[in-house]
Amino acid sequence: IIHRDLKPENILVAKTVMNGRYLKVADFGLATLHSIASGSHTRGVGTLQYIAPEFAGIEYIFRI
């Protein structure tokens, strides 16, 4: 399963007495099942601020 919209707002932190903290990934509304046979993925999905520049069509500059 490919989430396609992973960002801080979709990471939930929970705490239990026995196990301490654990993370849950939420909001699978844009998720898709990964198929090796198809070899392709949908582009242009997700939150723009968290998409890699090459997927957003923005030229990537290596300088920091």
Q: Which residues pair with 25 in a beta bridge?
A: 11
Residue 49 inside a domain? The answer is yes
Number of domains within the chain = 1
Measured distance CA(6)–CA(42) in Å, rounded: 15
CB 42 within 8 A of CB 4: yes
Q: What pLDDT is attached to residue 26?
A: 93
Find the domain containing 14 and state its range. 8-56
CB 1 within 8 A of CB 31: yes
Residue 19 inside a domain? The answer is yes
Residue 3 inside a domain? The answer is no
Per DSSP, the three-state class of 34 is coil
Residue 61 inside a domain? The answer is no
Residue 4, both tokens: 């396609």
Residue 51 inside a domain? The answer is yes
Residue 47, both tokens: 């939150």
Summarize pLDDT for 3-25 with one digit per residue, the tens: 888 899 999 998 887 878 889 99
Measured distance CA(36)–CA(34) in Å, rounded: 7
To the question of pTM greater than 0.85 for the whole model, the response is no
* Catalytic member of 5, 14, 22, 47: 5
27 is an active site residue: no
Residue 1 inside a domain? The answer is no
